[in-house]
Structure 1
Amino acid sequence: MTITSALVLYAVLWFMTFLMVIPIRLKTQGDMGEVVPGTHASSPEHHYLKTKAWITTGAAAVMWVILYWIITSEVITVRDIDWFNVMGPAEVMAPVDGTDG
């Protein structure tokens, strides 16, 4: 895994987790009973974004470590999820030391 793909994987995990965490414990103006004129009743009153961002960072880091290990140790490969055999048979790699067998 290259550095770029590792960073992209972490960014995707972070944003997906953040979008799932945002609605948790969200207090809207309608819930609080004080709607500011010119705003919608579902506008957030207390959103706790800083806390949610820290929770998201930790959760994404844990998921990233697990996925990094799975990808680099090849526990699951692309060929494992090729259910329709589109990739064909795997190629046999020649030995690295230069011998024939």
Structure 2
Amino acid sequence: MTITGGAVMFASIWFLVMFLLLPWGQQTQEEAGHIVPGTPAGAPVRPGLGKKAIWATVISVLLVGAIWMFLASGIVTRADMMDFNRLTP
């Protein structure tokens, strides 16, 4: 895998993990009992985006590293991937 391929894989996994982490630990303004005028009642009180971005980065680095090591180990080769969609053996 090239550096560019690794960077693209990291960015893709990072955004996926970030979107999965966004709803965790949220308390809405309605649940907190204090709704700021002009905002929806379902808006989060403290979104905690900084911590979630750090966690998304850590998880993404681990996942990309694991995938990179798996591909570098030679268990699955480029030829295996090219033959994956063939109908005949």
- Structure 1's unaligned 5+ residue stretches are 90-101
* Alignment correspondent of 2:81: 78
Higher RCO (CA-CA < 8 Å; seq separation 6+)? 2
Report the TM-score when normalising by structure 2.
0.84
Q: Which has the larger radius of gyration?
A: 1
Could you tell me which amino acid in structure 2 is paired with residue 85 of structure 1?
R
Structure 1 length as normaliser, TM-score?
0.75
| Partner residue in 2 for 1:95 | none
Q: Hey, what does 1:48 align to over in structure 2?
A: 48
User: Across the two proteins, how many residue pairs are aligned to each other?
Assistant: 86
- CA RMSD, 1 decimal: 1.9
TM-superposed CA distance for 1:79, in Å, is: 4.5
Kindly state the Cα deviation for residue 2 of structure 1 after the two structures are TM-superposed: 1.1
Give 1:73 deviation, angstroms. Answer: 2.3
SS in 1 for 2:45: strand
Question: What are the equivalent positions in structure 2 for 1:86-101 lying under 5 Å apart?
Answer: 86=87
Provide Cα deviations, 1:61-95, integer angstroms capped at 9, x if missing partner. Answer: 00010011122223234147x2x525x66xxxxxx
The percentage of aligned residue pairs carrying the same residue is 29
